[in-house]
Chains A and B, each alone.
Chain A
Amino acid sequence: DAKTTQPNSMESNEEEPVHLPCNHSTISGTDYIHWYRQLPSQGPEYVIHGLTSNVNNRMASLAIAEDRKSSTLILHRATLRDAAVYYCILRYSGGGADGLTFGKGTHLIIQP
């Protein structure tokens, strides 16, 4: 899987929007952008994924740059429960199978 770069940590206030950036300048045309998060003392949890167009689901939105070299995970109204490590992962979709390659992710801190 191609490499991603994320800030080590970010801080935000409760009930405010949060924008978590991810750079993936070596992304290929067949790579999907996946986001997972890991809450304290829990297993990772799928958040959202996309290929080219922006995506929304009940948890978050994913904004993908036109050149696909970066993306942003948007939490529209952060709660204390959103404090977690967020991982941006590229997944080759051209065939075959593999596990997820987790980097260090972004540690999101939510202040009450």
Chain B
Amino acid sequence: DSGVTQTPKHLITATGQRVTLRCSPRSGDLSVYWYQQSLDQGLQFLIQYYNGEERAKGNILERFSAQQFPDLHSELNLSSLELGDSALYFCASSTSGNNYNEQFFGPGTRLTVL
């Protein structure tokens, strides 16, 4: 158990809909990262937040957005969903936002878009 929690575990929705994925980092970790894992694209970094502020952006679509709240939990919002958005979404946390710190991953949310 990494100490990172993600809800829900599974999500099934229809195209065009909007969903919110939630992540609680390990106690004391200030940085949260979001990743997407699909069969064709592999594991891709989406976005990073550090202590409530956006810190780095990866391959995140404009239809996707995220935020980190004062209690440090984070939410990833996915809108106008397409079939291709079906994937595993992982959240990770680390103590700081620096590149040399290890990241601790949650169990993921499996999103299925029908």
Q: List chain A positions with a Cβ less than 8 A from chain B.
A: 32, 34, 38, 42-46, 49, 91-93, 96-104
Q: Are A43 and B92 in contact (CB under 8 A)?
A: yes
Q: List chain B positions with a Cβ less than 8 A from chain A.
A: 2, 4, 31, 33, 35, 42-48, 50, 55-56, 58, 90, 92, 97-100, 102-108
A-B contact pairs, 14 of them (CB 8 A): A42-B107, A43-B2, A43-B4, A43-B92, A43-B107, A45-B2, A46-B102, A46-B104, A91-B100, A97-B98, A98-B48, A98-B58, A100-B35, A100-B43
**Interface-central residue, A38, A44, A92, A96, by most chain B CB under 10 Å:** A44
Q: Pick the contact of B33 from A34, A93, A99 — CB < 8 Å?
A: A99
Q: Are A97 and B99 in contact (CB under 8 A)?
A: yes
Q: Within the assembled complex, what's the spacing in Å between the Cα atoms of A45 and B107? A: 10
**Interface-central residue, A34, A43, A93, A104, by most chain B CB under 10 Å:** A43
Q: Within the assembled complex, what's the spacing in Å between the Cα atoms of A79 and B98? A: 33
- CB neighbours (8 Å) of A99 from chain B are 33, 35, 45-48, 56, 58
Q: Pick the contact of A100 from B4, B97, B103, B106 — CB < 8 Å?
A: B103
Given known pairs A49-B100, A92-B99, A102-B43, the reply for A97 and B55 (CB within 8 Å) is yes
